[in-house]
Every structure is written in structure tokens, then in C-alpha cells.
Structure 1
Amino acid sequence: METVDPLKEFLLKYFMPEKCYNEFFHNFNFLYVPCQKIVLSKILGIWIMLGTLIVKLPQILKLLRAKSAQGLSFTSVLLELFAVTGGMVYCIAHNFPVGAWGDTVFIVIQTLAIGFLIQHFGGNTTRGVGFVVVYCGLLSLLVSPLTPMLVATTMQASNVPAVIVGQLIQAETNYHNGHTGQLSAVSVFLLFVGSLARVFTSAQDTGDSLMTLGCMVTSCCNALIAGQVLCYWNRGPAVKEKAE
């Protein structure tokens, strides 16, 4: 009975097809570019998946510590939530594997929490609870068989415009305030690096130019916010008020 090499089984399951395993470990051709791209895409995909588990936690923790959501745009959060939900609903409607959209659930939960905290620290706790309840109700409806496929497709098509508008609103808020308020630099830079990685993985794994373009546009928007974080690094509400 042939024994299975645990290392080989692990590599084939998570990082490369068997043809690449043979190319690397039988032919010792580690410079074979097509397989290098496949392995890099797999590594980035795993990194993105793990990153989504914690990408917004620094933002949530910063809000809880400061007990303030100053500088964060609720409208921007709503548009981001719409974009993320649209992609998740589209994948579920097409019966894509959970691996293709499962990480999105963590983004949704974290974004929903940020939206609630913005309302809560703004003195509108009841509105924040209503926001969460209404969203959960709408999501249940969207993932049910009652929702036509056209709705899921339309939401998916609206992803990029929603992300662009949402990020521009946040950027305008930062510019108007002269600081980034309680915006978490850690979360901003994790989102930026993650969006750059998605450009490569979408091009490598899907070959869909429209999807890749969407990822590139998202990266540019995230770069704008990251640039503002660096620009306003030593500026905050107290600093601005003192300057005025």
C-alpha cells in the first residue's frame, strides 16, 4: 500500500496543482514562472482570507477606547457595507463555494459593528440598533430564494461605484476636518495592502479584466485614504482646534 507524503498532500491541497509540485520537486525547476504565479496567488489568497478576519478590529478597538467616532463617515460605512454585501449575495445566488465568499462574512460583521458604534457614540444608540436589525432583515431576504437573480447581479455591478463614492466621501470628510479623527491607521493600511494583493489574485485566478479593473480602482481609493492618514499623522481634533 502506497504511503501518502503529508507534506505533498498539504502543498497540493493549499498551494499548487500536482504539475507544479512535479516541476518544483521532481525537475527542480523552481524558476518556472507559470507555477510561481500560481503559488504566489495561493499564498496571497490565504493572506487575504486571514487578513479579513482582523482587518477592521483595530478600527473597532480604537472607537471603543476613544468612546468617540469623530471623523468617521456613516454614509461611507453604509456604501462599503452595500458593496461587500452585494458581492456576498452574488456569490451565494450563484452557488459559488464558501471559500469564494466566506471571508466576506467577517468583513460584514466588522463593518456592521463600526456602523453601530458611529451611531452609538453619536448619541443615537436606538438608531444604531435599528440599523443592525434592518440590515439583518434585508440580508435574510436577499439570500433567500425570494430574491430575483437580477437583484444580485445589479448589486454586484454596483460594487465599484459604491466603493468609489464611499471612499471619496470619507476622503472629503478628512479634508474638511483637517484630520482623520478616530480612523485607524492600522485598518487603513491593511485594507490598502489587501486590495493590492487582490489585484494580482483576481488577474491570476479569474482572468476577468472587469473584476481586475474593479480591484485596481479600489486600491486607488484605499491609497487616497492611506495618503491622508500619513498627511494628517500628527493632526487630530485637539491639534486643529489649537491651530485655529
Structure 2
Amino acid sequence: METFSGLISYAQDNVLEPLVGAKCADRIAHFDLSSVDCLKLFVSKVLGLGIMAGGTIVKVPQILKITGSRSTQGLSFASYLLETAAYTISLAYNWRNGYPFGTYGEMAFINIQNLVILGLILVYSRNLFGLLAFLSLYSLSTLALFEESLINPTQLQQLFASMVAISAASKLPQIWNNWRAKSTGQLSAITTFLTFAGSAARVFTTLQEVDDVNVLVSTLVATGLNAWLAVQMLVYWRSGPSSRNLNVRDISHSPSHHSHSPGTNVPTRRSRKRRCEKRDAFID
């Protein structure tokens, strides 16, 4: 019994208190369920940690799928570029406003993975100049966002206010590509569903820990668009690339290309026989 009490005391001082504060830690450690606010805060903190942990690997399946197939077919460079821009602005805004890292920390890990994906898209398209230009511009932009002497708080607030539009724009090219091709191409199902689950959970943590309407609206918009992508993944689950994406080589080697329609002038045994009969009759 003393060992159990010691474990509870240790968890209260070293785990719960750093998460939810001394008052809520004491109530939760003594299983006081009457404080709904403390329970909500605890759930929010645990979710935040889970989202951050998931954020460290959420795009890894997508990266593995790209490197495994050596193709970025179906992936929108514009979508990943705009998503990276939106996350970078959000990181700077949250960090400079002193919001709890648990409410936005996954963006840092996702951004690193997005940079890898963007690099792979440019590498597989053999655009080395574009890769170098992108990395240079991104580095300079990130420095400006985090440095108050370069972008003041008012300007950062205005940039963050545009996050809703940027967040929407970051998903729409990918949504459009999927709809047009009736296929999700090399888009990873695991990454898509994990991203949706994480953004949905982030709505709850934002409501509990961040008193900022702009942050809440941007989170809601991102969740809605991620849900749209998840639905497309389900709808086009077994769909391959559409016929409009087939190249000339694919068409020339397809069975339908070698079959002859009724209107084609391809000689057959019967037609050759008829021509021979007509020719012999003419000679006679």
C-alpha cells in the first residue's frame, strides 16, 4: 500500500503537476472527478502530447511511399508548399505569443517532413535549381517570421489572420487533383487519416487551452479540409490512375490500341479474297 501511495505521489509531483498545475494534479491524483475543468485540461494535455508524438511520424508513410515507388504522381507541390507556409506562420505566431507548446508543437515536426516531401518532388522532377531556390527562400522567410525586428507583432497578426485562406489554398490543389484524376495517386492513406485525426483532436485542445479566435478558426478550417481529403481517399480507394493520365507508351501497348474498330481500313482474309475475285473478273 505504501508503494502504491509512493507511486501516486511521484506521478502527482513529476507528471501531473507539470501538465495541469498543482491544484488539478492534487484532485486527479486523489481521483476527484467532481472538477470537470481539471479533467478537461488533463485530457487536453494528454491529447496534445499524443498529437505531437504522432506529428513526428505522420508524413513518414508518405515519404516511404514516394521513395519506394520513386514517383510523386498525384501529389500537388502547391499543396505542400502552401501547407508548409501556413505551418511556419502558425509556429511563429504561437511561439511569439507564448502559447503552450503542446497546443501547436506537432507543426514543427510536420514541417520538417513536408520539407523532405517538397525536396523529393523537386528531385524526382530533376529540378535542382528549384530545390536550391526553395530552400534559400524558406530559410530567409522563417528567420523573418521569428525575428521581431524584421516582422513586428502587428504584421505577424495580419499574416496569421490570412492563415484561413492559406490553409484552404494548401488543400484545394490536392483535392482538385484527386477529383480530376478520380484517383489519389501516390497520396498515402495512413498519412491522410492520421492528419485528419490529429487536426480534429487539435480542435479540442485549442478550445481548452488557447483563448484566440484566429487559432480556433484556422484549426476548424484545416480539420474540415482534412476530412474532405479523407473522404476522397475512401471514395477513390481502389481507383488507379485515370485514362487521361496514361502516356503515349501506355496507350500504344494497351490491348484496345491493337483492336480494330469497324471503321478502320484494315485488310482481312475475306476482304482480300473479294478484291482478288474482282480483279480476276476485270481481267477476264
**TM-score where L is the length of structure 1:** 0.87
Counterpart residue type for residue 230 of structure 2: A
Q: Secondary structure at the match of 1:16?
A: helix
Does 2:78 align with 1:75? yes
> Matches of 2:94 and 2:214 in 1, distance apart?
16
Structure 1 residue 129, shift from structure 2 partner: 2.8
Q: Equivalent residue for 2:166?
A: 162
Q: Equivalent residue for 2:193?
A: 189
Cα distance change on mapping 1:33 and 1:21 into 2, 3 Å = same
- Contact kept, 8 Å, 2:12 with 2:26, in 1: the verdict is no
> Matches of 1:100 and 1:24 in 2, distance apart?
21
Structure 1 residue 115, shift from structure 2 partner: 1.1
> Matches of 1:75 and 1:141 in 2, distance apart?
22
Q: RMSD value over aligned CA atoms?
A: 2.5
Q: Equivalent residue for 1:115?
A: 118
- Contact kept, 8 Å, 1:116 with 1:125, in 2: the verdict is no
Instruction: Mark the structure with the bigger radius of gyration.
Output: 2
> Matches of 2:78 and 2:189 in 1, distance apart?
20
CA deviation digits over 1:172-206, x for unaligned, max 9?
A: 11111110111111111111000000110000112
* 201-210 vs 80-89, which moves further: 201-210
Which structure is higher in RCO with an 8 Å CA cutoff and minimum separation 6? 1
Cα distance change on mapping 1:149 and 1:18 into 2, 3 Å = closer
Query: What aligned pairs does 1:171-182 form with structure 2 within 5 A after superposition?
Result: 171-182=175-186
Counterpart residue type for residue 54 of structure 1: I
Unaligned 5+ residue runs, structure 2?
1-5, 247-253, 257-284
Candidates 121, 128, 152, aligned match of 1:148: 152
CA deviation digits over 1:63-112, x for unaligned, max 9?
A: 11111111111111111111101112223444556556544322221111
Unaligned 5+ residue runs, structure 1?
none
**TM-score where L is the length of structure 2:** 0.76
Does 2:59 align with 1:61? no
Aligned length: 240
Candidates 9, 15, 40, aligned match of 1:37: 40
Q: Equivalent residue for 1:206?
A: 210
